[in-house]
Amino acid sequence: MTKLLKITASVLLLVLTAFLFSACGGGQQAGSQAAIAMGAATTVQAVGVAASAKPEQLIGQVIIPTNQSPQDFRASLNYRRPVVVFFYMIGSADDDQVRSSMSAIESRYQGQADFYDYFFSDGNKYGDLMTLLKVNATPSVIMINKQAKVQRAWTGYVDDKSLQQGISEILR
């Protein structure tokens, strides 16, 4: 095969693969899983959330869940419980480190706050929560105080010390 023929065949194969992913409904989630399998970054856009939206924009705002929000999340806010919400993907170093920190914090503060860990690719299972909290990338951590106000929020890596400070603030 000539070099030009090999290049043409490669391009056609890539176009066909992209077409098949979009045609079979694979779109966002399949693309995300393919990116993870190839070792790419796990920052992908959530369906229905603008790329410029970030949980940090909600700091100081009251969260009002809807009937489409997860029932346990709604109950936590209705009972005026502090809430920590964590969205993650598997395979990213940042996600893995924040996930480890969150696990330690959850075990330390169990019973004092409600903790919800959500796998980002399963976003449809969580109703409108990703849209409500403006989550469009991982890792994302949102800490909500007893008055249902977002006290702290992070998109991307966050260190243990910051997470500890955030949990202290929502427990006051």
Give CA 80 to chain center in angstroms. Answer: 23
Distance between CA atoms of residues 157 and 65, nearest Å: 26
Dihedral sign of CA atoms 129, 133, 134, 139 in order: negative
Distance between CA atoms of residues 93 and 88, nearest Å: 11
Give residue 3's pLDDT.
55
Q: Where are the domains of the chain?
A: 3-37, 55-171
Report pTM.
0.71
The pLDDT profile of the chain, 172 residues, written as one tens digit per residue, is 565 445 545 544 444 444 444 444 333 333 333 333 333 333 444 445 566 789 999 999 999 999 999 999 999 999 999 999 999 999 999 999 999 999 999 999 999 999 999 999 987 889 999 999 999 999 999 999 999 999 999 999 999 999 999 999 999 9
Domain at 55-171: CATH code? 3.40.30.10
Distance between CA atoms of residues 77 and 110, nearest Å: 16
Give residue 163's pLDDT.
97
Give residue 51's pLDDT.
65
